[in-house]
Amino acid sequence: MRIGILECGAPPEALRARFGGYGSMVQRLLGPSRDTAVFDVPGGALSTERPGCDAFVLTGSAAGVYDDLPWIPELIGFLRQVRGRAKLVGICFGHQAMAEAFGGAVIKSPKGWGIGLQRYDVQHRARWMDGAAPVHVPASHQDQVVACPRCARVTAANAFTPYAGLDYGDAISFQFHPEFEAEFAAALIDARRDRFGALAGPAIASFGQPDDRARVGQWIHRFLDAPSAPAAGSHGDGPEST
């Protein structure tokens, strides 16, 4: 299986030099046995070529799906085109882009920032998941999915982020960051203290606790390796908006 990593953004340059880009973080999460290639989406990769891969993983980004940037509608169109032909995995911005592409809605949430190690409860146990125990995974977002696509089930949620994980049958996505190692997640918050204010200190301290990054990574592996599932239908998992 060839996996195309659609790199939708980059960390601050100083952190990129230390930890690599979001594409390389996803590569480390997937492990060296996976055949991967990274595509620079803001740099025009989808306008110059149509990657032929069996699956795609969409990374995080500082951009919002509602931003007036030429590569965003291009990405949305690409997702609609390849869905059903390739498996899709979305992370943070990728989670939001998939929701926007497949009938949901995303906004800059008035709740503010969700940062630090966050707990998410399993709402619907998909076949690629290993159990119903909650997961604790790094998060860094203000934008949120606020209307769940009717073709998706909610797999993970908490009070702050009710649509934190979605399962479309032939695609999955997460608002949180299983690819963020604790050291990088803490350094990213520290580099952006001016926007986080009093949230920064407790969020950085939270990374002293154990996390479930590896467990979520195994979810992704099982999804990628499982026989292709049909697209999910309308499930009515609670209200469509918050």
The 3 state secondary structure assigned to 80-122 is HHHECCEEEEEECHHHHHHHHHCCCEEEECCCCCEEEEEEEEE
Structural domains of the chain, ranges and CATH numbers in brackets: 2-225 (3.40.50.880)
The answer, yes or no, to whether residue 150 has pLDDT greater than 60, is yes
Residue 139's H or E segment, with its range, is strand 135-141
Determine the average pLDDT of the residues in 53-77.
97
Q: What is the predicted pLDDT for the residue at 239?
A: 34
E-assigned strand segments in the chain: 2-7, 35-40, 55-58, 87-91, 105-108, 114-122, 135-141, 143-147, 153-157, 165-167, 171-174
The two tokens of residue 14 are 């100083």
Provide the whole-model pTM: 0.94
Share of the chain above pLDDT 90, in %: 90
Determine the average pLDDT of the residues in 66-76.
97
Residue corresponding to tokens 């009070």: 159
pLDDT band at 232 (very low <50, low <70, confident <90, very high): low
Determine the average pLDDT of the residues in 61-90.
97
Side-chain half-sphere exposure of 182, counting CA atoms within 13 A: 15
